């Protein structure tokens, strides 16, 4: 099993070097910066990899199940646990999640932090940033390769969904009366949805 920790070496030094941390905080304040990883001037900046929205969506395709780490029932490597302890000690995150996939169990460990006090007070989970702490499994891959994997998975699902939809629509078109009878006498759910939409049989929701 391979374990990956996604920590910036530059910010890692700030965890243990108080002089560097003081200088970092001073520069951020002096320059009027609002760094994504700089949440609290009294502690070191978050050293883990910040995830943009595209990467988050890609990771959610690969591992669609997210749960708080306290509720995760499977083994977590000690390297991940050490970093979770560090994150808790430094109070980097409001909560930590494990993202997993039962068919391809190479989980992600994701730190979440609210973007502002209002979101924190109201527990607006949708208004929180994502940080990649680590990942473990059969093989380690860089983030750009994982995004490529997500595109392949999504493409396959879209193609499968499109093929199924085309076949269903062809059947509806060739024998609409049979499908109408199937709805009226058997309450077929798919046909009911088509009729309720006034004949619009296309489902524009992506299959993931």
Residues 96 and 177 in one domain: no
**Is residue 206 in some structural domain?**
no
Write down which residue in 93, 109, 140 finishes a domain.
140
**Is residue 94 in some structural domain?**
yes
Taking the C-alpha atoms of residue 76 and residue 109, their distance in angstroms, rounded to an integer, is: 9
CA distances from 81 to 59, 64, 163 (A): 21, 22, 44
Residues 115 and 157 in one domain: no
Q: How many CB atoms lie within 10 A of CB 28?
A: 15
Residues 112 and 164 in one domain: no
- What is the count of structural domains for the chain? 2
**Is residue 84 in some structural domain?**
yes
Average the pLDDT over each of 55-59, 67-71, 132-136, 164-168 and give the range with the smallest value: 164-168
Exposure of 194 in the CB half-sphere (CA atoms within 13 A): 19
Taking the C-alpha atoms of residue 39 and residue 80, their distance in angstroms, rounded to an integer, is: 22
Taking the C-alpha atoms of residue 193 and residue 54, their distance in angstroms, rounded to an integer, is: 32
Residues of the chain with pLDDT > 90, as a percent, come to 52
**Is residue 16 in some structural domain?**
yes
**Is residue 39 in some structural domain?**
yes
**Is residue 201 in some structural domain?**
no
Task: Express each pLDDT in 3-55 by its tens digit.
Answer: 999 998 666 665 655 666 566 567 667 666 665 555 554 466 899 999 999 99
Taking the C-alpha atoms of residue 173 and residue 167, their distance in angstroms, rounded to an integer, is: 10
Task: Express each pLDDT in 135-166 by its tens digit.
Answer: 999 888 999 999 999 999 999 989 998 898 88
Residues 15 and 66 in one domain: yes
Residues 76 and 155 in one domain: no
Write down which residue in 117, 140, 163 finishes a domain.
140
Residues 170 and 185 in one domain: yes
Taking the C-alpha atoms of residue 125 and residue 127, their distance in angstroms, rounded to an integer, is: 5
Pairing verdict, β 95-100 and 2-5: unpaired
Query: Does position 176 have pLDDT exceeding 90, yes or no?
Result: no
Query: Does position 193 have pLDDT exceeding 90, yes or no?
Result: no
Give the DSSP H/E element, type plus range, for residue 3. Answer: strand 2-5
pLDDT at residue number 125: 94
Query: Please, what is the Cα angle at 21 between 16 and 23, to 5 degrees?
Result: 145
Q: What sign does the CA torsion over 122, 124, 128, 130 have?
A: positive
Our measurement of the distance from residue 90's CA atom to the centroid of its chain's CA atoms, rounded to an integer in Å, reads 23
- Cβ atoms of 77 and 44 closer than 8 Å: no
pLDDT tier at 169, thresholds 50, 70, 90: confident
Residues 109 and 91 in one domain: yes
Record the pTM: 0.72
pLDDT at residue number 188: 81
Task: Return mean pLDDT, the chain.
Answer: 84
- Cβ atoms of 151 and 58 closer than 8 Å: yes
Residues 128 and 169 in one domain: no
**Is residue 205 in some structural domain?**
no
Strands of 65-203 (E only): list them.
Answer: 65-68, 95-100, 108-114, 128-137
Domain that holds residue 120: 2-140
pLDDT tier at 100, thresholds 50, 70, 90: very high
Average the pLDDT over each of 59-63, 115-119, 177-181 and give the range with the smallest value: 177-181
**Is residue 202 in some structural domain?**
no
pLDDT at residue number 42: 47
Residues 57 and 107 in one domain: yes
Give the DSSP H/E element, type plus range, for residue 129. Answer: strand 128-137
Residues 43 and 113 in one domain: yes
């Amino acid at each position: 099993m391979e374990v990956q920790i996604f920590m910036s070496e530059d910010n890692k030094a700030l965890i243990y070097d108080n002089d560097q941390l003081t200088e970092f905080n001073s520069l951020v304040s002096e320059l009027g910066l609002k760094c994504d990883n700089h949440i609290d001037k009294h502690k070191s900046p978050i050293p883990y990899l910040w995830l943009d929205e595209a990467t988050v969506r890609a990771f959610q395709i690969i591992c669609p199940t997210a749960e708080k780490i306290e509720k995760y029932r499977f083994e977590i490597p000690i390297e991940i646990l050490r970093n979770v302890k560090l994150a808790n000690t430094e109070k980097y995150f409001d909560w930590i999640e494990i993202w997993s996939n039962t068919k391809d169990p190479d989980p992600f460990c994701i730190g979440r932090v609210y973007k502002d006090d209002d979101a924190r007070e109201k527990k607006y989970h949708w208004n929180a940033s994502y940080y990649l702490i680590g990942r473990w499994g059969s093989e380690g891959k860089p983030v750009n390769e994982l995004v490529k994997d997500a595109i392949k998975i999504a493409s396959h699902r879209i193609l499968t969904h499109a093929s199924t939809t085309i076949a269903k629509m062809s059947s509806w078109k060739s024998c609409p009366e049979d499908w109408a009878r199937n709805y009226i006498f058997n309450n077929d759910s798919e046909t009911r949805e088509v009729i309720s939409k006034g004949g619009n049989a296309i489902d524009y929701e992506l299959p993931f």
